[in-house]
Amino acid sequence: MKRLLLNTLIGLALLTCQTSFAQKTKAKFSPIKVETPARPANQQDVIQLVTPKLETVRVGFIGLGMRGPGAVERWTHIPGTQIVALCDLLPERVESAQKILEKAGLPKAASYAGDEKAWKKLCERDDIDIVYIATDWKHHAEMGVYAMEHGKHVAIEVPAAMTLDEIWKLINTSEKTRKHCMQLENCVYDFFELTSLNMAQQGVFGEVLHVEGAYIHNLEDFWPYYWNNWRMDYNQLHRGDVYATHGMGPACQVLNIHRGDRMKTLVSMDTKPVNGPAYIKKKTGKEVKDFQNGDQTSTLIRTENGKTMLIQHNVMTPRPYSRMYQVVGADGYASKYPIEEYCLRPSQVDSNDVPNHEKLNAHGSVSEDVKKALMAKYKDPIHKELEETAKKVGGHGGMDYIMDYRLVYCLRNGLPLDMDVYDLAEWCCMAELTRLSIENGSAPVEIPDFTRGGWNKVQGYKHAFAE
């Protein structure tokens, strides 16, 4: 009897402890929530937005530094386009972009330069369909909003927005004006990524459970060339993954984000900053005590359907370039760095289509021959059509040309673009949300539903084609 009483008391004590621990842990780890502003009255989402077909896509470019002129040159190779206007703060940059047109045998474009607000005049013209923005990050959203307000579609370099406030402004303006707002994320068109996306969509990896992506690129040699030191300044002032889109884009497409699944929560952690402050000290002799951006930032995301993503950012330390791209499926695996490889169960490889299947090892990568055969079998129709020209025109091995070509193709055919304003939002929200997590001891942060209820309307990511 005594023993029974003792056991009951111990049991009760343990239960009380567990409950109060659970309450404490629950209180401690409930995710940080950020506000989702209500959709303005009489406004609808722009999921699968289509706009009237354009026979010729007339473009104006803003921002002609290291990145912009390459886009001008690529557009000279895209059929059905007209380069109407060129703008940069620095007149000499506009002049050298005019030479690209001259070399291609095209007429001179209108020039806008020499004034911080000259780009507004470009947006106000009535003979432009799309404004293509490749300035520093801080100008992107303001320019995008202004261009849409003036009746233009916009294509904005990565990251198109740096804060949630900028993201919501772009979403609200695209919804209000019914204009396309696309982020120029080129990595979704790279050869291994698009082929692997096609494989995933055809079930080769089984249910995709986990994906990885990154921007790992030592920018040591580039820092001195950014206009006005904007990029190092940004890193100095901001903690978190400030350049996440190259990893996020391909990962989100494989997971059908806002096409049947959505990102729910993230947690993020960074290292201390070492090389950023060291660079500034070397350049200016000044000691920087409060440099914000860690040399390496790592983020984990969980989706509504129970999938996970790992995203990394490191532009500071000497490491081989990597966008990490990995797809982990219940029945297979793809990985791009440091070498491109696939891993499948032997039974998944069709002996009629793929040679040497007997050499497969379920625990290792498939052989080079099998990989080649798989990549040929699952080559995406976009690559089938464009690979040859893309490799000739170039731009990161051809993916930049494919991105621009697809944008023009969809506008000319009145099709939804490959990337909409909600993709832009989901890939760019990392900058502010990872900072929030890091600054709160890596606490979980809820990721807003930028579609405001529409994330399950479309099932599966698709590229649109004219009939």
Ligand X SMILES: NC(=O)c1ccc[n+]([C@@H]2O[C@H](COP(=O)([O-])OP(=O)(O)OC[C@H]3O[C@@H](n4cnc5c(N)ncnc54)[C@H](O)[C@@H]3O)[C@@H](O)[C@H]2O)c1
Binding stretches for ligand X (CB under 6 A): 62-68, 87-90, 93, 116, 119, 134-137, 139, 157-158, 186, 226-227, 396
20-28: long-range pairs with CB below 8 Å, 24+: none
Say how far apart CA 183 and CA 134 lie, in whole Å: 11
Minimum CB distance to ligand X smaller for 144 or for 294: 144
Structure tokens at 253: 């497409």
Minimum CB distance to ligand X smaller for 136 or for 380: 136
* DSSP letter assigned to residue 320: -
Interaxial angle between packed helices 191-201 and 381-393, expressed in degrees from 0 to 180 and rounded to the nearest 10: 180
Minimum CB distance to ligand X smaller for 87 or for 443: 87
Say how far apart CA 415 and CA 153 lie, in whole Å: 13
Minimum CB distance to ligand X smaller for 163 or for 413: 163
Nearest approach in angstroms of CB 81 to ligand X is 19
Q: Could you tell me which residues come within 8 angstroms of residue 258 by beta carbon, excluding any fewer than 6 positions away? A: 47, 422, 423, 426, 450, 451, 454, 455, 458
What are 61's strand-pairing partners?
A: 86, 132
Nearest approach in angstroms of CB 381 to ligand X is 23
Minimum CB distance to ligand X smaller for 186 or for 326: 186
> Cα dihedral sign for 62, 65, 66, 72?
positive
Nearest approach in angstroms of CB 154 to ligand X is 13
Nearest approach in angstroms of CB 389 to ligand X is 19
Say how far apart CA 143 and CA 350 lie, in whole Å: 51
Nearest approach in angstroms of CB 219 to ligand X is 10
What are 301's strand-pairing partners?
A: 266, 309
Nearest approach in angstroms of CB 222 to ligand X is 8
* Beta-sheet strands, E only, within 31-120: 57-62, 81-88, 110-113
Structure tokens at 395: 């731009």
Edge to edge, what strands does the sheet with 445-446 contain?
A: 341-344, 332-335, 326-329, 208-216, 308-314, 297-303, 263-270, 445-446
Minimum CB distance to ligand X smaller for 226 or for 337: 226
Say how far apart CA 204 and CA 231 lie, in whole Å: 40
Minimum CB distance to ligand X smaller for 139 or for 179: 139
Minimum CB distance to ligand X smaller for 246 or for 262: 246
Tell how far CA 24 is from the center of its chain: 37
Q: Could you tell me which residues come within 8 angstroms of residue 129 by beta carbon, excluding any fewer than 6 positions away? A: 54, 57, 58, 59, 152, 153, 411
Nearest approach in angstroms of CB 122 to ligand X is 9
- The Cα-based distances of 60 to 115, 220, 227, 248 in angstroms read 17, 31, 20, 28
Minimum CB distance to ligand X smaller for 158 or for 216: 158
Nearest approach in angstroms of CB 149 to ligand X is 17
3-state secondary structure of 44: coil
Closest residue to ligand X, Cβ-based? 65
The answer to whether the peptide bond before residue 69 is cis (omega within 30 degrees of 0) is no
What is the pairing mode between strands 130-133 and 57-62?
parallel
Nearest approach in angstroms of CB 420 to ligand X is 18
Minimum CB distance to ligand X smaller for 215 or for 333: 215
* DSSP letter assigned to residue 127: S
Nearest approach in angstroms of CB 391 to ligand X is 17
